């Protein structure tokens, strides 16, 4: 799933490549992807693409300074920029991975795509991003909070730190991948309870969050959209590295699997050398 660094990089790429161009049209290929009906997609035609930004993990593309195409890419969504499209034959709904296509006046534009059969990508054409339910519920951005706010947000909900850290109503922008990285840098178990964290541990977690996310943004911004996924994977220490040596201590990176996701961690760095049991099979070792 694209997280804060990748969405920030996609927005930066659109600001560099697309801002200043006029929209020719917005084509909705996957009807279920567009969650709004007013204003209609045709309202974008003739408007200048004036900005691109993000709200947590939501991408926000602004047309004419008045309409916002807000997109949550979900787990398998992505943005593909095209310098030129094939012949202007209308795309057939339900065919292929393309959910939404934006054509610009110079013949370029971008596709919002989603791989796989489970379709969760969501696009909203609104006059105010706050009209999008997921945006209106977001907590403060992970890169905008200070230590005091971070502490208040993290301790406002009792639970395992992995789940609290990825709760978008607590902090916006952190997902499964970078939470693994943050917890590894902070030397904390993903199942540590927020109400039992010391001030020193919370401070360490805050610094880890800032360093991991800032480093990822620095590495990602300036990359072409097609290169971002590879850049993301290249920087991981533990996430998606099950069975490989931890780059800090050399211990084997372990995994805990859930119904539809998993987490990775280093026992030596994070859990005092104790492997965490798979939640599906036995109780968790904290």
- Summarised one tens digit per residue, pLDDT across range 193-227 is 999 999 999 999 999 999 999 999 998 887 776 67
Helix (H) or strand (E) holding 213: helix 199-220
Q: CA–CA separation, 176 vs 256, rounded Å?
A: 12
Average pLDDT over residues 37-54: 97
Residue 229 has pLDDT above 80, yes or no: no
Alpha helices in 18-160 (DSSP H): 133-136, 147-154
In this prediction, residue 41 carries a pLDDT of 97
User: 125-147: per-residue pLDDT in tens?
Assistant: 999 999 999 999 999 999 999 99
User: 165-198: per-residue pLDDT in tens?
Assistant: 999 999 999 999 999 999 999 999 999 999 999 9
Residue 284 has pLDDT above 50, yes or no: no
Relative orientation angle of helices 147-154 and 199-220, to the nearest 10 degrees: 110
Average pLDDT over residues 104-119: 91
In this prediction, residue 283 carries a pLDDT of 44
Q: CA–CA separation, 71 vs 198, rounded Å?
A: 37
Percentage, residues of the chain above pLDDT 90: 82
Q: How sure is the predictor about 258, in pLDDT bands with cuts at 50, 70 and 90?
A: confident
- Pairwise pLDDT comparison (235 vs 61), residue with the higher score: 61
Start-to-end CA distance of the chain, whole Å, equals 27
In this prediction, residue 88 carries a pLDDT of 61
């Amino acid at each position: 799933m694209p997280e804060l660094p990748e969405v920030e990089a996609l927005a930066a790429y659109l600001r560099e490549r697309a801002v200043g161009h006029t929209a020719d049209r917005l084509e909705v290929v996957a009807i279920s992807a567009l969650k709004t009906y007013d204003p209609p997609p045709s309202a974008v035609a003739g408007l200048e693409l004036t900005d691109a930004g993000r709200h947590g993990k939501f991408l926000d593309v602004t047309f004419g300074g008045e309409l916002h195409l807000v997109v949550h890419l979900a787990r398998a969504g992505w943005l593909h920029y095209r310098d030129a499209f094939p012949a202007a034959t209308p795309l057939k709904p339900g065919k292929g991975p393309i959910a939404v296509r934006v054509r610009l006046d110079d013949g370029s534009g971008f596709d919002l795509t989603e791989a796989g059969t489970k379709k969760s990508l969501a696009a909203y054409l609104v006059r105010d991003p706050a009209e999008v339910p997921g945006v209106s519920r977001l907590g403060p951005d992970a890169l905008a909070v200070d230590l005091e706010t971070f502490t208040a947000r993290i301790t406002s909900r009792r639970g395992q730190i992995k789940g609290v850290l990825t709760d978008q109503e607590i902090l916006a922008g952190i997902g499964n991948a970078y939470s693994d990285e943050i917890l590894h840098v902070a030397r904390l178990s993903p199942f540590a309870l927020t109400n039992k964290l010391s001030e020193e541990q919370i401070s360490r977690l805050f610094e880890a969050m800032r360093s991991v996310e800032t480093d990822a943004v620095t590495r990602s911004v300036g990359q072409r959209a097609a290169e971002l996924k590879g850049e993301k994977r290249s920087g991981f220490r533990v996430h998606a590295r099950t069975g490989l040596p931890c780059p800090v201590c050399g211990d084997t990176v372990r995994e805990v699997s859930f119904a539809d996701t998993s987490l990775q961690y280093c026992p030596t760095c994070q859990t005092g050398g104790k492997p965490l049991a798979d939640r599906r099979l036995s109780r968790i070792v904290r």
